[in-house]
């Protein structure tokens, strides 16, 4: 998130030069870090297996359901939240 905040602040600072935007240095910072998304995607199935195993523990499952029921979750499960970074990665890949 920190990296994306830096990228966003850089974009905001350069919007005043529209339509001539120089963004190469921002992408030089961002692109090497995208491998984090690749690792996340590669391990996604494993993380779901670990979560399923953890949910077999009644106390864990009860606590998880308690948090998933909070309004901030908007009725989404932890499994749903675990997929969000993958969709962000796919969207970024399509744009570049």
Residue 85 has pLDDT above 90, yes or no: no
The pLDDT tens digits for 30-51 are 777 777 777 888 888 999 999 9
Going by pLDDT thresholds of 50, 70 and 90, the confidence category of residue 87 is low
57: left (phi over 0), alpha (psi -120 to 50) or beta: beta
The pLDDT tens digits for 10-31 are 888 888 777 777 888 888 877 7
Q: Break the chain into its structural domains and give their ranges.
A: 1-42, 44-96
Give the pLDDT mean for 48-66.
96
Give the pLDDT mean for 84-96.
53
């Amino acid at each position: 998130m920190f990296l994306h905040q830096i990228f966003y602040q850089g974009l905001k600072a350069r919007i005043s030069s529209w339509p001539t935007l120089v963004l190469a240095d921002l992408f030089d910072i961002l692109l090497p870090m995208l491998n984090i998304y690749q690792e996340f995607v590669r391990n996604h199935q494993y993380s779901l297996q670990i979560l399923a195993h953890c949910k077999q523990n009644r106390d864990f499952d009860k606590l998880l359901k308690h948090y998933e029921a909070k309004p901030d979750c908007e009725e989404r499960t932890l499994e749903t939240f675990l997929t969000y970074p993958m969709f962000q990665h796919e969207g970024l890949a399509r744009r570049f």
